[in-house]
Structure 1
Amino acid sequence: MTRHPFLAVVAAALAVVLSRTAPAQDSEPYTLKVQSQIVVLDVVVTDKHGALVQNLTKDDFEVLENKLPQPIRTVEHTTPPPPSKAPVAIESTADLDRLEPNAPVSIIVLDEMNTRFEDEEFARYSLKRYLNGLGETLSQPAMLIAVNTDHLMVLRDYTTSRAALLSALEHHLAAFPWNLQSGARAGERFNAAFASLMEIAEATSGHAGHKNMVWIGRGFPSIDMQTLPPDFEDSLKDEIQTCTNLLRDARVTLYTVDPAGITVQPQAVDADGFELDPFGGQVNFNDMARATGGRTFHNRNDVDALIGDSIRDGSDFYTLSYTPSNIAADEKPFRSIRVVMKDKDLRATTRAGYYAQPPIAAALPANPLDPASAASSKSSRRLIFDLQLAGAGTMVYDGLPFTIARNADKPNNFELLLSPSKIAWKTDDAGKLTANIVLFVESFDRKGKLLQRTADTFHLNRPDGANDKEIRLSASIPTATPAARLRFVLRVEADGRMGANNFYLVDPATLDDPATGMNRKIKK
């Protein structure tokens, strides 16, 4: 059973399509939602030698959207802290959001489902080599993740400790990619890679800082959209739309580092140098990188340097904002963006564009755990997918941060405490501020087996004059042995923001749970 049920129908189609070639057919481009008329771009500027450029102002940039000049509202420059400034010690997502709420971060992902075993080992060696070349305390917080077809595993939450990252890497034993070697389960590998991108984007959306995701591996298999049956093509377009939207809204720039050293064709551009719709025909992982403003690296001999280059780009960049001068509906929904430097010796790298489409309101199913209720609408299916995706792992979601308090007298009862300021409230017909929140709770044993799952929907009214008063949501789930880990997930109806956290009933170091990615047989 795939760990991402919402994408299962797409995976089933791709399993067939990836092994054959079908006649081409015309298809309409899909659309992405734009949640604001203000467009924000993170831009990396380099000179002709590839060095990062400092001290630029608004007058040095020109932004073109659909080939039309756009008035730039603001320009901000993010740079690494000076060597004289001691880095702030970060050991968790909670530390990051409390101590460095706007800091740029790195998210390093080890792809263990689409990368050959020998390339996996070389990638791990290269990552260790890169980390060993840094100081004991990193200047930028980093998170280490590994993904396979069954799990997204947070090997180490955000940290500024080099030793912590090296220890997590040492205690993770990657499985041999049998499915890749045999060519099997291609659809599931595509499915899992896509869902992993979505999960990381949703989980990190609460942190305002820029995020550089360095994906070490091949990414998902390439897909020719024209070989898909129409229904499956539409489903895949929807998932591409959602994934790219989530990455953009979370300020994630994707960099791919392929240790196999296989090159790809550059993105197609029109006669004026503007990129065409990156997903208009062929879909591959490198298109995802370019769509977010990242780059692709393919080099077998210098992977540690490529990792360093990717992380460097995420620590020194300019943030530009503008309001599009022409927001009328277009025949082609892809709105191409190009940042041009007044100095022709400089090069600006940013995302290729966006897809203009009004947001679609979500709706809560009557029962979040009832498949029939969940299938009632596309938005209900999306809610179920989001909840199950967040519930399957251990990654902390900070889009809706909360703390967990256990009742000392009634150990099966818990309270979740969250701030009203983090909730998207809506005004009802009576003029009251209201919100609907789904609470999803799961329990697991020491080996990661799901024991129980519950869900509830809370209809909240914001108290008058109580902006700083915590909101308390109650939950109950059996905690007697063999329960070892609880997973709490919250999702707001109005904007889809999510929070997720873990409550451990035993010492986490004693778990043999595949979701953690840690091999307890390796001595510390």
Structure 2
Amino acid sequence: MLKASITMTPLKWRQLLAIAVFFPCLALPFSADSREQTPADAAPAASPQQTPTEKPITPPPSAQAQPSAPPGTPKPPPAGVQVARPGAAYESATVLRVTTRLVMLDVVAADSHGHAVLDLEAKDFSVLEDGKSQKVRAFGFQHPVAETPKFTKQSLPANVFTNIPQFRLNSSLNVILLDALNTPLTSQSYVRQKMLHYIETMSTDSPTAVYTLGQKLRMVQDFTTDPNILKEAVKKAGGRASALLDNPVSGEETELYPPGFFDSLPDQAQAALQSFEAERTSFQTDLRVRYTMDALQSIAHWLSGYQGRKNLIWISEAFPLSISPDATVSSNTEFGAERNYGDDIAKTAAMLTDSQIAIYPIDARGLSTSGIFSASSSGGDRFGHRITGGPQLGNALSLESNNLTATHGAMDLLAERTGGKAYYNRNDLDKAVRDGVSDGSSYYMLGMASSARYRSK
């Protein structure tokens, strides 16, 4: 049996002691880290009061399979749940945008006698856009029914007001615009007389509002079917003299200069005076057109919230579509007062059409005659020339005829662009109002999905 002996010197004892101290210190961090990663160690220690029969609580298998997170670390979300990062905006790789525009058109169909056609179907209409046929995706027909029970108004206590419509909502709406800006006082009086006669015989199921136009647009009466209320509104409108008419009483041309004054001037002064009067007339007409177009655009904005077709009955002497030099202007006169209001009328007509408003202009003059033969005429023009006959009479009659034709042209343009109808050269203004209301009360509604590509300007 082999035996070995080791002799330990003091130096060797010190080396062995240093090694024994070093290795336990080196193993301490690894031991702490391994304890933190062990789920069993994270369980609370058993209470000293625990009996031998009690078993420690075993964590579920999912907890045993996953190591516990260090302190302060948030728990991971459940499987299948995506958590948005704080401060990170949601970004999608795909953007799906679908735009659908349903264009609604109201169509009035009448026979050769002017009576409404009531038995058309969607297949009877052809809708074109940029020359291409479009499918009618929505179809409806609006027509007043005589058998409809009378609308019962809501009775309110004293000092209680409401904005609930006091009429049948599926009825076509009518707005009567009494134009005092472009109409002299004598014609305004005649218009009020005819309007009162119309209200006495109007249908009780036609909601009607009354507006007046001076230098401002005013609503005298909101929509109502009560004839008594409408009568009071027309009487309340009264007559207002227009500051933009040379003769606000009769509207006829008046002498602005004494007889013989113009002829006594040299040719250069006559040309300057003619140019001044033409520019003054054009400036007044510019203001009348601007005020009138602004009023019609305001009405289009106000009525845009009402669904369906609206009929605007505009009773006025209106304004000329254009202003051009006449035969009385000297050849050496620099005429800078020429005007054409076609673009302004087209812009306003587009706004009225977008709001489903059809305008029915009615000439307040009735059947027009030449003012030269009127009893109130002075027998001269604005420059004091006596119109006795011959070329002077021919020029005066031609000037009146041209102005009247230009005024009716403006009425026709507005009516055609909005789907209405112009009435002039007739004295039965009350019947003209009734025809306009009846024409706009029966119409077809067509809807199509526009394929045009609209771009914001």
Q: Could you tell me which residue of structure 1 aligns to residue 186 of structure 2?
A: 118
Answering whether residue 258 of structure 2 is matched by residue 193 of structure 1, we say no
2:224 and 2:444 map into 1 onto residues whose CA distance is 24
Return closer, same or farther for 1:166/1:89 CA change in 2, 3 Å cut-off.
Answer: same
Letter in 1 for 2:173: V
Whole-angstrom distance in 2 between the partners of 1:122 and 1:308? 16
Change (3 A) 1:224 1:40: farther
Q: Alpha carbons of 1:197 and 1:262: their partners in 2 closer, same or farther (altered >3 Å)?
A: farther
Q: C-alpha separation between the residues in 1 aligned to 2:306 and 2:179?
A: 24
After the TM superposition, list the runs of 4 or more consecutive aligned residues in structure 1 that deviate by more than 6 angstroms: 90-93
Structure 2 Cα separation of the partners of residues 36 and 145 of structure 1: 36
Per the alignment, residue 95 of structure 1 pairs with 164
Give 2:111's aligned residue: 47
| Whole-Å separation in 1 of the counterparts to 2:162 and 2:441 | 18
1:355-394 aligned within 5 A: 358-360=455-457
1:321 to 1:216, Cα distance in 2 relative to 1, 3 A: same
The partner residue of 1:203 within 263, 281, 302 is 302
Cα distance in 2 for residues equivalent to 1:89 and 1:160: 10
Pair 1:158-2:223 in alignment: yes
Q: Which residue identity lines up with residue 317 of structure 1 in the other structure?
A: Y
SS in 2 for 1:166: helix
2-structure distance, mates of 1:303, 1:288: 19
| Corresponding letter in the other structure for 2:205 | S
1:463 alignment partner in structure 2: none
Distance 1:47 1:88, change over 3 A: farther
Distance in 2 separating the partners of 1:309 and 1:302: 11
Give the distance between the partners of 2:147 and 2:213, measured in 1 at CA.
Answer: 34
Whole-angstrom CA distance in 1 between matches of 2:144 and 2:154: 16
Structure 1: segments with no counterpart, 5+ residues: 1-34, 264-281, 329-356, 361-524
Q: Deviations over 1:289-328 (max 9, x none)?
A: 2111111111332211110010112211111122345x36
Distance in 2, Cα, partners of 1:224 & 1:181: 16
Secondary structure at the aligned position of 2:105 is classed as strand
Partner of 1:56: 120
Change beyond 3 A, Cα 1:294–1:194: same
Instruction: Provide the secondary structure at the position in 1 that maps to 2:297.
Output: helix
**Among candidates 285, 290, 311, match of residue 212 of structure 1:** 311
CA distance in 2, matches of 1:90, 1:121: 35
CA distance in 1, matches of 2:456, 2:441: 31
Separation in 1 of the partners of 2:293 and 2:175? 16
Whether 2:140 is the aligned partner of 1:76: answer yes
Measured in 2, the distance between the counterparts of 1:141 and 1:313 equals 15
* 2: CA distance, partners of 1:132 / 1:302: 15
> Which of 249, 252, 268 is the matching residue for 2:354?
249
Q: Could you report, residue by residue, the CA deviation over 1:228-251 in whole angstroms, capped at 9, with x for unpaired residues? A: 99xx99x994x5565333212211
Measure, in 2, the Cα distance between the counterparts of 1:286 and 1:111. Answer: 17
Quote the Cα distance in structure 1 between the aligned partners of 2:115 and 2:455: 39
Corresponding residue number in structure 1 for 2:195: 127
Counterparts of residues 406-417 of structure 1 (less than 5 Å) = none
TM-score by length of 1: 0.46
The equivalent of 1:458 in structure 2 is none
Aligned letter for 1:295?
K
Alpha-carbon distance in structure 2 between the residues aligned to 1:290 and 1:51 = 18
SS for the counterpart of 2:299 is helix
Q: Amino acid of the residue matched to residue 115 of structure 1?
A: T
Question: Which protein shows a greater Rg?
Answer: 2
Helix, strand or coil: the match of 1:248?
helix
How far apart are the structure 1 equivalents of 2:308 and 2:163?
14
The 2-side partners of 1:129 and 1:80 are apart by 22
Q: Write the distance in 2 (CA, Å) between the matches of 1:290 and 1:296.
A: 8
Q: Structure 2: which 5+ runs fail to align?
A: 1-98, 156-160, 248-252, 254-280, 325-334, 369-407
Counterparts of 2:209 and 2:100, CA distance in 1: 29
Following TM superposition, by how much is the alpha carbon of 1:169 offset from its aligned partner in structure 2, in angstroms? 0.9
- The residue identity in structure 2 corresponding to 1:180 is L
Contact 2:139/2:445 (8 A) holds in 1: yes
2:421 match: 295
For residues 292 and 82 of structure 1, do their structure 2 counterparts lie closer, same or farther at Cα, with a shift above 3 Å needed? same
Distance 1:217 1:100 in 2: 29
CA distance in 1, matches of 2:137, 2:367: 40
Residues 243 and 84 (structure 1), Cα distance of their counterparts in 2 relative to 1, 3 Å cut: closer
Task: Decide which structure has greater helix share.
Answer: 2
Is the Cα contact below 8 Å between 2:168 and 2:205 reproduced in 1?
no
In the other structure, the counterpart of 1:311 is: 437
| In structure 2, C-alpha distance between the alignment counterparts of 1:160 and 1:111, rounded to whole Å | 22
* Contact 1:93–1:158 (8 Å) recurs in 2: no
Quickly say closer, same or farther: Cα 1:116–1:93, change in 2 above 3 A: farther
* One-letter amino acid matched to 1:258: D
Matched with 1:108 is 176
SS at 1:82's partner residue? Answer: coil
Letter in 2 for 1:141: P
The residue type paired with residue 364 of structure 2 is: P
Aligned to 2:65: none
What does the per-residue CA deviation read over 1:3-55, in whole Å, with 9 as the maximum and x for residues that have no partner? xxxxxxxxxxxxxxxxxxxxxxxxxxxxxxxx974332111111111111112
- 1:198, distance to aligned residue in structure 2 (A): 0.7
Q: CA deviation at 1:262?
A: 6.7
- For 1:251 and 1:222, locate their aligned partners in 2 and report how far apart those are by CA, in whole Å: 23
1:254-280 C-alpha deviation (Å, 9 max, x unpaired) = 1111132479xxxxxxxxxxxxxxxxx
Q: Deviations over 1:86-113 (max 9, x none)?
A: 13549999323x9755532000001111
CA RMSD of aligned residues (A): 3.5
1:341 paired residue number: none
